[in-house]
Amino acid sequence: MSHFSHLKTKIRNLTSLQKALTQLDVEWKTGPKDVRGYRGQTHTAQVVVEQDNGYDIGFSWNGQEYELVTDLQFWQQNGSVERFLQKVTQQYAYQTVMSETAKQGFQVAEQQKNEDGSIRLVLQRWA
């Protein structure tokens, strides 16, 4: 029986996911690579965050999105799994917006991080 938990996300772009993790100072390795779990079990993922305790966190493509794969019993990040996913998802959304709007010729005119943790962006494009 597998100890791995598979947590759904809305993450679909690998490059934006990798940039998000880098922005959050999370060290990651590109896959396909094995996520190490309980009693030597493994699960293949496209992005792996190795933890000091030998039990990893991975982001694995399920055909629709990258889901977080880990053994929750051995979670060793600052804060809860939910908080980690919130931070990754917010930074992923930011990276995706920046990438897509740059393709359309937009530039950041103003950027502000609010007290609640949200980010306010003002973009402009010269016609």
Range of the domain at 76: 5-124
User: How many angstroms separate the CA atoms of 71 and 121, rounded?
Assistant: 36
User: How many angstroms separate the CA atoms of 35 and 92, rounded?
Assistant: 21
User: How many angstroms separate the CA atoms of 113 and 103, rounded?
Assistant: 23
Q: What is the pLDDT of residues 26-85, one digit of tens each?
A: 999 998 999 999 989 999 999 999 999 999 999 999 999 999 999 999 999 989 999 999
| C-alpha pair distances (Å), 9 with each of 47, 63, 108, 109, 126 | 14, 12, 27, 30, 35
Q: What is the pLDDT of residues 83-127, one digit of tens each?
A: 999 999 999 999 999 999 999 999 999 999 999 888 999 999 887
pTM of the model: 0.88
Report how many domains make up the chain.
1
- HSE-CB at 23 with a 13 A cutoff on CA atoms is 16
